[in-house]
């Protein structure tokens, strides 16, 4: 079978550097006792190293041409290549409800969506590794006070410890992307309960970062549609800060403050 041609509509940039592929595969060694799910294997440059690991490996690939290529070149994976859209899958079914490592050379255009889905199944995914756009990796690993710190930083760091492992240059892909890439590893941090309403936590984080240049006392107003918070709500300590100044723990505290005020005005 001929090599698969990268498809622009799928955001395919095939890694060609075998040493980097091997290094990415080795990131899953942080969780050696559970199976691995690879997203977007393409022609299997990363897969070839993953299948040498002692763990069970499955791969999900939306591109039918790539699925055919994998069937031909990795016959032992024939029944473990899932020809579906990862974003539409029920991840609880992949390994029969068992925890697993998520890895891959992630498509740039849906990487954030992939990680938001990971958060929905965080109790099944103690470890997530792989390669993404460098800009996204920096956001995920950024600390408070940094311009890269944002929605993705807070929501992921609430549940995972994020390591920025190394940068990958454009020239090791076919076709070369216009930006650098980076390899990251995320490990569950042991938090089992945030200490606040999780849905409201997400709403608060997204609301204030969508107006990140404004002070909290301004950006929080959108959460109180049709309701007038007490004047002292906006006079509390910290309301003149901007969202990039808050740690995850402070966002938890802020969420509890907002919830208390929302309940005060509830009928």
Q: What is the pTM of this model?
A: 0.93
Tokens for 176?
A: 């070369």
Contact in structure between 14 and 44 (CB atoms under 8 Å): no
Share of the chain above pLDDT 90, in %: 82
Strands (E), 19-112: 36-39, 57-60, 81-82, 101-104
Predicted pLDDT at 182: 98
Q: Is residue 1 scored above 80 in pLDDT?
A: no
Predicted pLDDT at 2: 75
d(CA 204, CA 109): 25
Element holding 47 (H helix, E strand): helix 47-50
DSSP β-bridge partners for residue 168? 181
* Tens digit of each residue's pLDDT (9 = 90 or more) over 192-230: 999 999 999 999 999 999 999 999 999 999 998 878 888
Check residues 6 and 96 and name the one with the higher pLDDT. 96
Q: Is residue 25 scored above 90 in pLDDT?
A: yes
Strands 14-15 and 81-82: unpaired
Strands (E), the chain: 14-15, 36-39, 57-60, 81-82, 101-104, 127-133, 160-168, 173-174, 181-188
Q: Which domains does the chain have, with CATH numbers?
A: 8-188 (3.40.50.150), 198-264 (1.10.8.100)
d(CA 167, CA 132): 10
Predicted pLDDT at 70: 94
Q: Across residues 103-124, what is the average pLDDT?
A: 95
């Amino acid at each position: 079978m001929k090599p698969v041609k990268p498809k622009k509509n799928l955001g395919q940039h095939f890694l060609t550097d075998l040493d980097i592929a091997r290094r990415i595969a080795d990131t899953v060694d942080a969780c050696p006792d559970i199976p691995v799910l690879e997203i977007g294997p393409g022609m299997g440059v990363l897969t070839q190293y993953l299948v040498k690991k002692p763990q069970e490996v499955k791969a999900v690939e939306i591109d039918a041409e790539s699925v055919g290529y994998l069937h031909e070149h990795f016959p032992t994976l024939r029944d473990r290549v899932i020809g579906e859209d990862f974003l539409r899958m029920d991840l609880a079914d992949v390994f029969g409800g068992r925890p697993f490592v998520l890895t891959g050379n992630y498509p740039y255009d849906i990487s954030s969506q992939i990680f938001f889905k990971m958060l929905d199944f965080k109790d099944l995914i103690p470890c997530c590794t792989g390669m993404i756009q460098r800009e996204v990796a920096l956001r995920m690993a950024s600390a408070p006070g940094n311009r890269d710190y944002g929605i993705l930083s807070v929501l992921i760091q609430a549940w995972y410890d994020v390591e920025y492992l190394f940068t990958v240059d454009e020239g090791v892909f076919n076709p070369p992307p216009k930006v650098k890439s980076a390899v990251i590893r995320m490990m569950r941090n042991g938090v089992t309960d945030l200490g606040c309403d999780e849905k409201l936590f997400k709403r608060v984080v997204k609301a204030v970062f969508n107006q990140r240049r404004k002070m909290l006392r301004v950006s929080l107003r959108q959460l109180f549609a049709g309701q007038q918070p007490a004047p002292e709500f906006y006079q509390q300590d910290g309301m003149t800060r901007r969202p990039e100044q808050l740690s995850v723990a402070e966002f938890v505290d802020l969420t509890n403050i907002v919830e208390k005020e929302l309940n005060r005005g509830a009928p």
